[in-house]
Structure 1
Amino acid sequence: MAVISAVGIESEAEVPFGALHLLLHRYPDRVVALPGPQATALRGAFGLADTGMRDRFLIGAASLTLLADIAGERPVLYVVDDAQWLDQASSDALLFAARRLSDDPITMLFAFRDEGDRSPVPGLEGVRLAALSPAAANQLLNVRTPGLTTPVQKRVLAEADGNPLAIIELGSEIRSGRPVPGDQAGPLRVAGRVQDVFRPQLAALPPATRLLMAVAAAAENAGLNVILRAAARAGADASDLGPAEQARFISVSGDEVRFRHPPPY
Structure 2
Amino acid sequence: MTIAPEPPTLFGRHDEQAELNQLLADVRTGASRALVMHGDAGIGKTALLDHLLAQAAGCEIIRTVGVEAERELAFATLHQICAPMLDRMASLPAPQREALNTAFGFASGSPPDRFMLGLAVLGLLADLARDQPVICVIDDAQWLDRASARVLGFVARRLRAESVAIIFAVRDPAGPDLVGLPTMAVRGLPIGDARSLLSSTKLGPGDPEVVDRIIAESHGNPLALRELPRGFTAEELAGGFEARGAGSLPWRIEKSFQRQMAELSTATKLVMLVAAAEPVGDPSLLWRAVDELGHTPDTGTVLSEAAGNFLDFGTKIAFRHPLLRSAVYRAATPQQRRRAHHALAQVTDAENDPDRRAWHRALATSGHDEQVAAELESSAGRA
Q: Normalising to structure 2: TM-score of the pair?
A: 0.62
Residue 143 (structure 1) aligned to one of 200, 203, 210: 200
- Which residue is equivalent to 1:215? 274
Residue 289 (structure 2) aligned to one of 218, 230, 240: 230
For the structure 1 residues 191 and 97, does the alpha-carbon distance in structure 2 shift closer, same or farther, using more than 3 Å as the test? same
Partners of 2:235 and 2:96 in 1: CA distance: 56
Contact (CA 8 Å) 1:181, 1:196: kept in 2 or not? Answer: no
State the AA in 1 paired with 2:190.
Answer: S
Partner of 1:127, secondary structure, is: strand
Comparing 200-209 with 118-127, which one deviates more in the overlay? 118-127
Comparing 51-60 with 221-230, which one deviates more in the overlay? 221-230
Partner of 1:14, secondary structure, is: coil
Comparing 227-236 with 161-170, which one deviates more in the overlay? 227-236
Correspondences of 1:180-219 after superposition (within 5 Å): 181-184=242-245, 186=246, 188-219=247-278
- Which residue is equivalent to 1:8? 66
- Which residue is equivalent to 1:258? 318
Partners of 1:101 and 1:155 in 2: CA distance: 46
- Which residue is equivalent to 1:87? 145
Shift of 1:99: 0.7
Contact (CA 8 Å) 2:281, 2:318: kept in 1 or not? Answer: no
For the structure 1 residues 155 and 118, does the alpha-carbon distance in structure 2 shift closer, same or farther, using more than 3 Å as the test? farther
For the structure 1 residues 221 and 89, does the alpha-carbon distance in structure 2 shift closer, same or farther, using more than 3 Å as the test? closer
Contact (CA 8 Å) 1:159, 1:182: kept in 2 or not? Answer: no
2:221 is aligned with 1:163: yes
For the structure 1 residues 75 and 138, does the alpha-carbon distance in structure 2 shift closer, same or farther, using more than 3 Å as the test? same
RMSD between aligned residues: 2.6
Unmatched segments (≥5 aa) in structure 1:
none
For the structure 1 residues 38 and 257, does the alpha-carbon distance in structure 2 shift closer, same or farther, using more than 3 Å as the test? same
Contact (CA 8 Å) 1:148, 1:175: kept in 2 or not? Answer: no
State the AA in 2 paired with 1:56.
Answer: R
Shift of 1:71: 1.8
Partner of 2:84, secondary structure, is: coil
- Which residue is equivalent to 1:127? 184
Partner of 1:102, secondary structure, is: coil
2:309 is aligned with 1:248: yes
**Bigger relative contact order (CA 8 A; separation at least 6):** 2
For the structure 1 residues 128 and 120, does the alpha-carbon distance in structure 2 shift closer, same or farther, using more than 3 Å as the test? farther
Residue 160 (structure 2) aligned to one of 71, 78, 102: 102
Q: Tell me which protein shows more helix as a share of its residues.
A: 2
Correspondences of 1:24-39 after superposition (within 5 Å): 24-39=82-97
For the structure 1 residues 164 and 256, does the alpha-carbon distance in structure 2 shift closer, same or farther, using more than 3 Å as the test? same
Partners of 1:176 and 1:105 in 2: CA distance: 52
Partners of 2:264 and 2:191 in 1: CA distance: 34
Shift of 1:89: 1.1
Shift of 1:175: 7.1
Partner of 1:53, secondary structure, is: coil
For the structure 1 residues 155 and 183, does the alpha-carbon distance in structure 2 shift closer, same or farther, using more than 3 Å as the test? same
Q: Normalising to structure 1: TM-score of the pair?
A: 0.87
Shift of 1:97: 0.6
Partner of 1:78, secondary structure, is: strand
Residue 152 (structure 1) aligned to one of 186, 210, 231: 210
State the AA in 2 paired with 1:134.
Answer: I
Partner of 1:27, secondary structure, is: helix
Aligned length: 261
For the structure 1 residues 147 and 197, does the alpha-carbon distance in structure 2 shift closer, same or farther, using more than 3 Å as the test? closer
Partner of 2:180, secondary structure, is: coil
